[in-house]
Amino acid sequence: MKIIRDAFTFDDVLLVPKVSGVNSRYMVDTSTNLTDNIKLNIPIISSNMDTVTEHIMAIAMSKAGGVGIIHRFNSIENEVLEVTKVKREQNIIIEKPYTVSKDTTLEKLRELSFEKKVKSFPVVENKKLVGIVTRRDFEFEENPNLKIEDIMTKDVITGYTKISLEQAKTIMNKNKIEKLPLIDKEGRLTGMVTSRDVKLLEGYSKASKDKNGRLIVGGSIGIGSDYMERAKALINAEADFIVVDVANGYLDKTADVVRKIKKLGVDVIAGNVATRSGVLNLKRAGADCIKIGIGPGGACLTRPVAGVGYPQLSAILDCSNSGVRIMADGGISKSADFSKAIAAGADTVMVGGLLAGTDESPGVIITKENVNYKFYRGMASINAFSDKASKTDESVDLEGYTPEGTETLIQYKGSVTKIVNNLVGGLRSAMTYLNAKNIAEFRKNAEFVLLTDSGKRESKYK
């Protein structure tokens, strides 16, 4: 047995200020890369936990400039549905609009409208656009057997496939229309632009978007029996990246799954590990970004149960400069922790407990003794582990399971926007103190000073 070295976490240190020419926090650039192919405007990721991220949270995070990862404690179909809701929230071009035929009845149209939450449908025959039916066409019609052909607009104003946002706006403004179907030279439907999406795109200039202007979102898989089926379904739903979500990223099987998923041609994030050797192992397997953190999460019991882990700040420092993007996962309880994680070398930071209890997190508000709460749990808690058996194809052994996650009520916090703004505001402030206009300069200029117990009290850390 040997003691390798001293290791530290966020409250053990402070960042040392520098003489700075960065005179305002609004002068700094907080953009970063999640992977080499995916850029974000803020380095915040909402955790793939079932009490943190489903489509509502993922939409909010991407609009803010970060990204959300849909959790895998669900059926494949439901995880795909969550991803699809994010991808359809905001587009320059809706590449696969929902369509109807001329023979569709009004009754069927209304069922489809309710199911898909869509009010306008291009009418297609043999892949060619022959009309469009909108809410105004059918809202007051009473005959359920009426055919779409009898109420649709036949002289449709259209654009061509490779239309720009400005061109689409010009056509819609000139013709006073809200939906612009796109066609190719043969008249085949290739997409649609809506005025709603144009307004959303203009209102969220800092949003994380793919090449088609849609919000970015990730899907997660495990290493159980359904991982390949789940990954292929998520890729087909156009998830922008896949997270191989395993508490123990050191397992040989974790690296094996990463190698196999990379062959599908998608960016892969893998973890969790907490040492340089763990990072290099997953890097060799092909991971584009690696999650750092064994046991620092507020809902994680790995350290008290298994006695395994690594203080999070030292883990980030040890794993940085490994030639691969890293994501700090866990241990963030305030904006200062977030800033220190970035300064230590994390490209992005995953946040769970701080975002739980918000309007955008899954679950209902519970009132207890006149205080509002929402439920929050670690994904290695006993009930989360049990739910996995009923919602996925992964086999579980409850009898032999020792939970490494906790469950609790977390006080209701309101909108997640306030939490995100607070984290980013703290980072911007730290960057001005360190004379850093961007994340690269922030890391380069960062120096940490170790705190004594008195220093921690003075810093309000105790």
- Catalytic residues, by residue number, are 300
Give yes or no for a contact between 433 and 21, defined as CB atoms under 8 angstroms apart: no
β-strand 267-273 against 289-292: which pairing, if any?
parallel
How many Cβ atoms sit within 10 Å of the Cβ of residue 414?
12
CA angle 359, 363, 365 (to 5 degrees): 65
Query: Concatenated DSSP letters for 56-98?
Result: HHHHHHHHHTSEEEE-SSS-HHHHHHHHHHHHTTS-SSBSS--
How many Cβ atoms sit within 10 Å of the Cβ of residue 454?
9
Give yes or no for a contact between 341 and 10, defined as CB atoms under 8 angstroms apart: yes
Separation between Cα atoms, residue 123 and residue 254, nearest integer Å = 47
CA angle 303, 305, 309 (to 5 degrees): 20
The total number of residues written for the chain in this structure:
462
**DSSP summary character for residue 105:** B
Query: Concatenated DSSP letters for 287-344?
Result: -SEEEE-SS-STTB-HHHHH-----HHHHHHHHSSSSSEEEEES---SHHHHHHHHHH
AA identity, residue 170: T
Q: Phi and psi dihedrals of 419, rounded to 5?
A: -65, -45
Cα pseudo-dihedral 455, 456, 457, 459, rounded to 10: 90
Separation between Cα atoms, residue 135 and residue 413, nearest integer Å = 37
Q: At what angle do helices 227-236 and 76-87 cross, to 10 degrees?
A: 20
Query: Concatenated DSSP letters for 218-257?
Result: EEEE-SSTTHHHHHHHHHHTT-SEEEEE-S-TTSHHHHHH
List of residues 6+ apart from 401 with CB closer than 8 A: 382, 385
- List of E strands, 369-441: 371-377, 407-411
